[in-house]
């Protein structure tokens, strides 16, 4: 369990809070690039780490991210005119460039110097991997360099969802590999899996790294070993592997697919989740139809989403749980793998009281995660740099999903497959 004091430190992300200070040391994915599809297009509201911001793509195509309200009378810049390399407030016409500097004041005399004294707080942005990234800290770190960013657009798919809970319970759900065979079980009609559950429960092995940790879930399948190597990259990213067939082939080859999430705190009780997947074979592009079908299977396809990136199946309608399906078909009675995760995570409440938990042996990854985050806030508090800020620490890693014939072959398999190829 976690003390109430440490739970408070880890879950609050506003300016000046311990974890708020940690997150502000990293580049965070704020939006899909497609949300700002065109230069001089409509601005987009952004709430990030408890701050209300506005994002816009200016005439040059560059993205600005700054305070959401005009410095004059605090009118909302969401209503503003995005024109001629700046965002103009519709109330009195004050105009700001993407760096937050006021460049025009049509209501002031021509010889006024007031505009030279006015600037909104603005943050640096960077685009990569189909995402707009921002760094809210005192100084921007080098841009992120994940393998999925370096993969060409033909090999990559990204999406975004929003959850109404604290980032940490969503992040912990992503790092918890042992729940998959229970929460996501779809063969409840055949209960034989329970008889073999103890043998097939993954044996977790965790290895600290310069960027967070890697952990392997190894399942004994009688005739072979199923080896999954996950990567946790600070502050809130997970990578996992998957082997999928290539469509349209008579004897379809199987290619490694790597997917993952980045959990970005909107505020203390809301989290934006970036979902990504990419073909890990440079020679084989990602089948985009497969990617879209996978989104639908997860429960976050286009028909499953509301305009604000929340799920149509949500806490207000109990995620449309089907009790008959739960009795006869699936363990949860909720359709969609991602929807099942969201149901559990949001159902815990906005912020979980971890002082009431009772952790078990398969919770080791979660325990290590919490220790690393507590260490990170102490490092920042002391003026240091937390793990994972330097992109060179993680740029060459990837997740693994493979089978080994013998237990002795597992280390070599992991070492061979964990290295990035883009």
The string of pLDDT tens digits covering residues 76-101 is 999 999 999 999 999 999 999 999 99
Bridge partners of 56?
64
Pinpoint the alpha helices (H) of 101-222.
147-150, 167-175, 180-183, 192-195, 197-200
Q: Are 351 and 166 in contact (CB under 8 A)?
A: yes
pLDDT band at 217 (very low <50, low <70, confident <90, very high): confident
* pLDDT at position 251: 44
Q: Are 334 and 313 in contact (CB under 8 A)?
A: yes
How many Å apart are CA 27 and CA 235, to the nearest integer? 10
List domains and CATH numbers for the chain: 28-134 (2.102.10.10), 147-417 (3.90.380.10)
How many Å apart are CA 9 and CA 18, to the nearest integer? 6
Mean pLDDT along residues 67-75: 98
Mean pLDDT along residues 267-296: 94
Bridge partners of 169?
none
Tokens representing 106?
């049509």
Closest CA relative to residue 99, chosen from 115, 85, 82, 112: 85
Task: Reply yes or no on whether the pLDDT at 247 is more than 60.
Answer: no
Closest CA relative to residue 51, chosen from 61, 37, 32, 65: 65
Q: Provide the CA 397 distance to its chain's centre, in angstroms.
A: 17
Tokens representing 395?
């740029």
How many Å apart are CA 342 and CA 161, to the nearest integer? 10
Tokens representing 64?
């600005």
How many Å apart are CA 274 and CA 190, to the nearest integer? 35
pTM for this predicted structure: 0.93
The string of pLDDT tens digits covering residues 338-385 is 999 999 999 999 999 999 999 998 899 999 999 999 999 999 999 999
CA separation, residue 123 to residues 24, 102, 136, 187, 224 (Å):
11, 15, 6, 49, 51
Residues contacting residue 287 through CB under 8 Å, at least 6 positions apart:
246, 247
* pLDDT at position 199: 53
Length of the chain: 422
Residues contacting residue 179 through CB under 8 Å, at least 6 positions apart:
173
Tokens 């890697």 -> residue: 214
Q: Are 7 and 354 in contact (CB under 8 A)?
A: yes
| Least trusted range by pLDDT, from 169-173, 271-275, 330-334 | 330-334
Task: Reply yes or no on whether the pLDDT at 189 is more than 70.
Answer: no
* pLDDT at position 119: 98
The string of pLDDT tens digits covering residues 109-142 is 999 999 999 999 999 999 999 999 999 998 878 9
Task: Reply yes or no on whether the pLDDT at 243 is more than 80.
Answer: no
How many Å apart are CA 291 and CA 157, to the nearest integer? 7
3-state helix, strand, coil in the chain (%, to 5): 30, 30, 40
* pLDDT at position 202: 61
How many Å apart are CA 1 and CA 387, to the nearest integer? 24
pLDDT band at 246 (very low <50, low <70, confident <90, very high): low
User: Taking the CA atoms of the chain, what radius of gyration do you get in angstroms?
Assistant: 23
CA atoms within 13 A on the CB side of 189: 5
Residues contacting residue 416 through CB under 8 Å, at least 6 positions apart:
none
* pLDDT at position 190: 54
Tokens representing 23?
């997150």
* pLDDT at position 271: 98
Angle at 23 between CA 308 and CA 142, to 5 degrees: 105
Give the 3-state secondary structure of residue 192. helix
The per-residue pLDDT of the chain, averaged, comes to: 92
* pLDDT at position 180: 78
């Amino acid at each position: 369990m976690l003390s109430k004091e440490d739970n408070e430190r880890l879950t609050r992300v506003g300016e000046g809070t311990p974890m708020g200070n940690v997150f502000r040391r990293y580049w965070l994915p704020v939006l899909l690039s497609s949300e700002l599809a065109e230069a001089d297009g409509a601005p987009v509201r952004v709430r990030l780490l408890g701050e209300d911001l506005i994002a816009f793509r200016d005439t040059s195509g560059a993205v600005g991210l700054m305070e959401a309200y005009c410095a004059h009378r605090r009118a909302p810049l969401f209503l503003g005119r995005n024109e001629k390399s700046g965002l103009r407030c519709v109330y009195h016409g004050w105009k700001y460039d993407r760096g937050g500097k006021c460049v025009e004041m049509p209501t002031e005399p021509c010889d006024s110097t007031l505009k030279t004294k006015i600037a909104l707080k603005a943050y640096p942005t960077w685009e990569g991997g189909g995402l707009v990234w921002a760094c809210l800290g005192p100084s921007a770190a080098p841009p992120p360099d994940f393998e999925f960013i370096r993969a060409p657009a033909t090999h990559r798919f990204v999406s975004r969802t929003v959850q109404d809970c604290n980032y940490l319970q969503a992040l912990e759900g992503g790092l918890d590999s042992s729940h998959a065979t229970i929460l996501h079980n779809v063969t409840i009609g055949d209960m034989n899996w329970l008889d073999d559950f103890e043998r097939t429960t993954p044996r977790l092995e965790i290895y600290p790294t310069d960027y967070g940790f890697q952990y392997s879930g190894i399942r004994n399948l009688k005739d072979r070993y199923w080896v999954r190597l996950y990567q946790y990259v600070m502050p809130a990213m997970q990578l996992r592997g998957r082997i999928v067939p290539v469509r349209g082939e008579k004897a379809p080859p199987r290619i490694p697919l790597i997917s993952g999430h980045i959990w970005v705190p909107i505020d203390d009780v809301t989290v934006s989740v970036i979902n990504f997947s990419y073909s890990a074979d440079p020679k084989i592009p990602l089948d985009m139809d497969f990617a879209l079908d996978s989104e639908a299977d997860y429960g976050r396809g286009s028909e499953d989403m509301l305009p604000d990136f929340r799920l149509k199946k949500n806490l207000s309608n109990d995620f449309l749980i089907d009790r008959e399906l739960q009795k006869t078909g699936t363990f949860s009675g909720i359709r969609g793998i991602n929807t099942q995760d969201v149901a559990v995570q949001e159902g815990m409440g906005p912020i979980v009281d971890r002082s009431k938990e009772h952790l078990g042996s398969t919770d080791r990854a979660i325990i290590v995660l919490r220790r690393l985050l507590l260490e990170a806030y102490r490092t920042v508090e002391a003026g240091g740099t937390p793990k994972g800020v330097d992109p060179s620490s993680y740029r060459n890693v990837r997740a693994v999903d493979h089978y080994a014939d013998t237990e002795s072959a597992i280390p070599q398999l992991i070492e061979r497959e964990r290295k990035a190829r883009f």
